[in-house]
Amino acid sequence: MTKAEIQTFRALYEKELFDNIVPFWEKYSLDRERGGYLTCIERDGRIFDHDKFIWMQGRELWAFSKLYNTVRHEPQWLEAAHLGAQFLRKFGRAPNGDWYFALDRDGRPLVQPYNIFSDCFCAAAFMEYSKASGKEWARDMAIQGYRRIQERKAHPKGIWTKQISENRPIRAMAMPMMQLWLAGEFQGAISDAEREHIIDESLDQILRLHLDRERHAVFERVYPDGSHPDCMEGRLLTPGHALETLWLVLNTAEQRGDRAMIDDVAPVMLWVAERGWDEQFGGFLYYQDYEGFPTEKLESSMKLWWVHVEALMAFLLAYRLTGEEVYESWFRKVHDWTWTHFPDHKDGEWFGYLNRRGEIELTLKGGKWKGFFHIPRALMNCSQWFAEMEKSSLEVK
* CB nearer a copy of itself, residue 274 or residue 359: 359
Residue (18 or 117) nearer to a copy of itself, CB: 117
**Binding a copy of itself by CB under 8 A: which of 111, 143, 207, 387?**
111
Burial of 167: CB neighbours in 10 Å, binned 0-12, 13-18, 19+ = exposed
Only one of the segments 75-83, 252-260, 265-273, 296-304 lies at the binding site for a copy of itself (rule: CB under 8 A); that segment is 296-304
Binding to a copy of itself in span 132-161, by CB under 8 A: 159-161
Q: How many positions of this chain bind a copy of itself (CB under 8 A)?
A: 46
* Integer Cα distance of 24 and 26 in angstroms: 5
Q: Shortest Cβ distance from residue 233 to a copy of itself (Å)?
A: 9
H or E stretch at 75: helix 75-91
Report d(CA 143, CA 189) in Å as an integer: 7
Distance CA 112, CA 92 (A): 11
Q: Is 108 in the site for a copy of itself (CB under 8 A)?
A: yes
Distance CA 128, CA 151 (A): 22
- Report in angstroms how near the CB of residue 90 gets to a copy of itself at its nearest: 16
Exactly one of 76, 263, 293, 329 binds a copy of itself (CB under 8 A); which one?
293
Q: Which stretch binds a copy of itself (CB under 8 A): 48-56, 121-129, 242-250, 262-270?
A: 48-56
Secondary structure (DSSP) of 209-233: IIEETTTTEE-SEE-TTS---SSTT
Residue from 26, 45, 50, 184 touching a copy of itself (CB under 8 A): that is: 50
Task: Give the dihedral of Cα atoms 268, 208, 313, 41; nearest 10 deg.
Answer: 120
Tell me: does residue 104 bind a copy of itself (CB under 8 A). Answer: yes
Residue 372 to residues 11, 130, 236, 259: CA-CA distances in angstroms? 21, 19, 27, 33
Residues that bind a copy of itself (CB under 8 A): 40, 42, 46, 48-51, 101, 104, 108-112, 114, 159-164, 167-168, 230-232, 289, 291, 293-296, 298-302, 353, 355-356, 361-364, 367-368
